[in-house]
Amino acid sequence: MENRKENPKNILSKVLEVLSTMASKPSGLIGLSILFFHITLAITSPWFVPYDYKAIDPTLMLQAPSSEYWFGTDSLGRDVFTRTLLGGRIALTVTFFGSLIALLWGGLLGIFCGLVGGKIDDIVMRIVDAFLSIPWILAMLLIVSLLGTSIEVLIPALGFFYGKGIVRVARAATHDVIAKDFIASAKARGHSNMSIIWNEILPNVRDAILVEGAMRWSWMLLGFSSLSFLGFGVSPPTPDWGLMISNARGLMSFAWWSVISPIVGLSSLIIGINLTADAFAKALGIDRSTKAPV
């Protein structure tokens, strides 16, 4: 690993270079395409959905797919196509910002612990271990039961629970870097810890943390949808894939259309993010199979 501070590159050209490398492999191209498709859909779908997502109609209950209702209707007579198109918006928004929070606190705390070491590192890592031992779904249920299921609660809560693993990755990556001479030089020059983190360590562990963050994003998406499935994610009538699957699961044997569409939406997005994260890791030269233990 080298000190990239001495070879600064234009961020935009770096991004384009990474994207180009990612797209050069079929799996990377597929992953990027799926992700791009979902993000585009999430942003633009409110402008072209054919029906009101919350309009209930007893005369249209569980209609099979037709030229009028492409994906059929659900048990309240709502258009499944409309609700599927809109169903990923909240999930993408919540998990994207949740992942950013996880990256920020997990990454910075991990680097700090790796750098300072000693008792502070021990204490912080034991606290992180303690939190890692708590099943996240139970902790999340407790939080949403107490504070509600608004986005303002879900984003930081998910960000916190999914950031715990990043702390360990960032700390392990930092350990690889701090033995290098340029860190010793920076210390000898009297640089502060914050200066060393920002200027010396971060550029060298950034890629590992970003790849970990990308993977956490897909896990968080699955976690958020699990919460919605249990009824503790977004509140009705907001269309959400997890909630749609939950509502329609009992109808699967005779109204498959009401449950298939959100399943395809959710699983394709998770696959897309995973393929993208893998391609991202390869483009940055990180072998995820031999990365530091989490």
Partner 1 sequence: MKHIFKLISISLISLLVTFSAANASSGVFKLSHDLGFGKDTNLDAITKGRLFQVVIMTQNRLVRKDLKGVTSAELATDWSGNADATEWTFNLRKGVKFHDGSDFDAEDVKYSLMRVKDPDIGSPAKKSMSSVTDIEVIDSHTVKMKLNTSFADFPLLLTDYRLRMIPSGSGDTIGKTGIGTGPFIVDKFDPEGTTILKANPNYWEGAPGLAEVHVIAIPDGEARVQALLTGQIDMNRYVPFTQKKIFDGNSKFKTTVVPTGNWRGMVMRTDTAPFDNPKVRKAVRLAVDRQELVDLVMGGAATVACDTPVAPSDQYRLNMKCPQNIKKAKKLLKDAGYPDGIEMVIHVSTKEPTWPTIAEVMQQQLAKAGIKVEVKMTPSKSYWKETWMKKPVAMTRWNERPADSALHEIYHSGAKWNESFFKNPDFDKNLANARGELNFKKRRKAYRNAQKTLWEESGTMIPYHVSKLVVTSSKVKNLDEVEVFSVRWHKVKVD
5 DSSP assignment = G
CA dist., res. 76 & res. 56, Å (int): 5
Binding window for partner 1 (CB under 8 A); candidates: 55-63, 115-123, 169-177, 216-224: 55-63
Q: Does 135 bind partner 1 (CB under 8 A)?
A: no
Closest approach, Cβ 154 to partner 1, in A, equals 13
226 belongs to the binding site for partner 1 (CB under 8 A): no
Pick 132 or 141: Cβ nearer partner 1: 141
Cα distance between residue 10 and residue 39, in whole Å: 26
Does 149 participate in binding partner 1 (rule CB under 8 A)? yes
Q: How far apart are CA 5 and CA 2, in angstroms?
A: 9
Q: Which residues pair with 132 in a beta bridge?
A: none
Among the listed ranges 11-19, 48-56, 97-105, 277-285, the one in contact with partner 1 (CB under 8 A) is: 48-56
Burial 244-282 (b: 16+ CB within 10 A, else e): bbbbbeeeeeebebbbbbbbebbeebbebbbbbbbbbbb
What phi, psi does 76 have (nearest 5°)? -105, 10
The mark string for 236-275 relative to partner 1 (x by CB under 8 A, - otherwise) is xx---------x-xxx-xxx--------------------
Q: Residues 59-98: x/- map of binding to partner 1 (CB under 8 A)? A: --xx------------xxx---------------------
Pair of tokens at residue 109: 């705390």
Instruction: Please say which residue, 56 or 271, places its beta carbon nearer to partner 1.
Output: 56
Q: Does 54 bind partner 1 (CB under 8 A)?
A: yes
Instruction: Confirm if 90 and 46 have CB atoms less than 8 A apart.
Output: no
* Contact pick of 231, 263, 286, 288 for partner 1 (by CB under 8 A): 231
29 binds partner 1 (CB under 8 A): no
Burial code of 22-45, b = ≥16 C-beta within 10 A, e = fewer? bbeeeebebbbebbeebeebbeeb
Which of residues 32 and 245 has its CB atom nearest to partner 1 in the complex?
245
User: Any contact of residue 58 with partner 1 (CB under 8 A)?
Assistant: yes
Q: Which residues bind partner 1 (CB under 8 A)?
A: 54-56, 58, 61-62, 75-77, 141, 145, 148-149, 230-232, 235-237, 247, 249-251, 253-255
